[in-house]
Structure 1
Amino acid sequence: MLNESEKKNLIEQLKKAKEEVNLLKSKLSKVNSEKESWFRKKATISQEIKDKISFVQDSKKQRNNLTSEVKSTKTKRDELNKKISEELKIVKHIKPKPEDGHHQQRENPFALKKKIDSMELKIETEPMSFQKEQAIMKEIKTLKKKYDEIKGLMKEIDDIRGKNKELNMLKKEANKFHKDLQQQAKESQEFHEQIIEYSKEIDILREKEKEAHDKFMLGKDEYINLNNELKRKLEELKAVKDNLEQNEVRVEELEREKKHKNLKEKTKEVNEKIKKKQKLTTEDLLIMQSSK
């Protein structure tokens, strides 16, 4: 059997073990909360990195597609410009060039044809003398000869008009390709700049992710150490309790006796205050009430 001193020592050990267990549980709860907070933060950052990487990959695809379109559009534009240059040479070749003063004053073939038709209609529809008709016929013959000499100009003019029309269409198409090229190049550059910006952000996030991971791992190690220490303290607490039970020491009864003793001493102090007619505190009144 244990003597009173040994019992008291065991009870003090029990009290100390309980306090240490409660303190460790409090620390363990705090460390676990911080550890899980860093874990959630790391998970959030990891998801953000994943989203930005996905965006960068999509942007690279779009940028590369636009770069291919730029090359294709540039090729088409250059081909059109080459064709325009060739067509201009053709127009320059077929355009009538004055060879002398007579050709410089060459009449409009359309006006000349109209004049011939008008004179022929006049012969057919208007009464006139034989001499006048012969004179008009002679003039018509001269005009027709002149017309035959320059009628090739009509074809040249038609060819020029057709080529000019074709050139205008080609120029419009080339301008469209040029505008498309500028727009595609602009969009490609915008995607490229976004990729650079997001890549920088990803690098920063990776640093934050590493920091969160490192702190989570530190918290995890601390949690494991505290948990192991708590297990040891719980074993110590159980050993003290088992020792007390084996020696039939009722801790609750001892605690009640201790409280009763303390209450008795405090009641005595309050009675002394009453005898001396000193002012009682609220605590004094509660002690008096408990002692009844």
Structure 2
Amino acid sequence: MMKELQTRKTELKDISEEAKEKRNQLNAEASKYAAERNELNNKTKDLILVAQDLKVKRDEVNVNVSKYKDLRDTTNARANELFAKADGLKKDSSLDGPSIKEIRKQIDALEFQQQTSVMSPKKEKELVTKIKELELEYSEKKKSLDNNSELKEILDQAQVIRDEASEYHAQLSVYAEQAQVFHEQMIAAFKDADRVRAESDVAHKNFIRAQEAADEQHKVFIEAQKEIREIDKETGKSKKKDKDSKSKQDKEELEKDAQGIMDKFKDGGKLTMEDLMALQRSKY
């Protein structure tokens, strides 16, 4: 029985040491994944802060976008009212049709074509004729417009307002482009945060897996240690029992020897020093 217990104790020691080693390795692995997870979580927080800061900047710029959009639209509406009023006066004065500005653009485009393009004499003649017609129309409209002070004043005023609206639109475009840049950077930062968060989730799952495996090995270690203590306890009981049994046997032998010495003494025999010491050790 004692031999079987010692054999089992040796097996349990091996199991305990192996479980302890695996547990420590798994705990180290869990710590590594925990550190990785924490680092990724901090990185995620930093990216979210960057994204939120970009969102604030975008929204601040969009305030100016809305401001200049309203100014542009309001100013364009005023210009349109004046141009509509001018169109009415043009019809009354037979000045409707393309504006002087549009006619001038057509003339400039045709003259550029004449100077830069290679064409047949017939085609060039047609082009020259068209230019002359437009120049005549331009001249007549300009003369009529110059003679119509009310129309000229309205058109001049409308053009000033339209130019003002164009300036507002230019400002709007600058702020809109800036807002778009902030928006794209914000989206990129949020996407990076999502990507890093996903990596953090993987690290956390690995941490949980390693931690649970370490806990299982710790349970094996604890159970083995518990059983070893039980074997030691059982072995101790057995040793005590053997010791008690031997002590009883020795005592019985001592009493037997003492009884013989006493019988010898009663029969008139002489006692030696060894006999006296033996009697002293016994109940006599």
Q: TM-score, normalised by structure 2?
A: 0.51
Match of 1:24 in 2: 12
Match of 1:117 in 2: none
CA distance in 2, matches of 1:222, 1:74: 63
Instruction: Give the total of aligned pairs.
Output: 193
Tell me whether 1:59 sits opposite 2:52 in the alignment: no
Match of 1:37 in 2: 25
Match of 2:250 in 1: none
Match of 2:170 in 1: 172
Tell me whether 1:69 sits opposite 2:62 in the alignment: no
Percent of paired sites with the same residue: 8
**Does the 8 A contact of 2:79 with 2:159 survive in 1?**
no
Shift, 1:219, TM fit: 0.9
| Cα-to-partner distance string for 1:160-214 (whole Å, 9 max, x where unaligned) | 7765664444222211211122222222222332333334334433333222221
CA distance in 2, matches of 1:211, 1:152: 85
Q: Give 2:169's aligned amino acid.
A: K
Match of 2:184 in 1: 186
Q: TM-score, normalised by structure 1?
A: 0.50
Matches within 5 A, 1:155-170: 157=156, 163=161, 166-170=164-168
Q: Give 1:80's aligned amino acid.
A: Y
Shift, 1:39, TM fit: 0.8
CA distance in 1, matches of 2:217, 2:7: 23
Residue number among 37, 49, 58 corresponding to 1:49 in the alignment:
37
Residue number among 93, 103, 123 corresponding to 1:100 in the alignment:
93
| Cα-to-partner distance string for 1:9-43 (whole Å, 9 max, x where unaligned) | xxx95x76665554433332221110011111111
| Cα-to-partner distance string for 1:90-117 (whole Å, 9 max, x where unaligned) | 4456677756369x9xxxxxxxxxxxxx
CA distance in 1, matches of 2:94, 2:222: 111
Match of 2:218 in 1: 220
Q: Give 1:227's aligned amino acid.
A: Q
Shift, 1:224, TM fit: 1.4
| Cα-to-partner distance string for 1:221-257 (whole Å, 9 max, x where unaligned) | 111122233344556677888979x98xxxxxxxxxx
Q: The residue matched to 1:76 in structure 2 has which SS?
A: helix
Q: Give 1:177's aligned amino acid.
A: Y
Shift, 1:218, TM fit: 1.1
> CA RMSD, aligned part only?
4.3
**Does the 8 A contact of 2:73 with 2:165 survive in 1?**
no
Match of 1:210 in 2: 208
Match of 2:73 in 1: 85
CA distance in 1, matches of 2:224, 2:32: 27
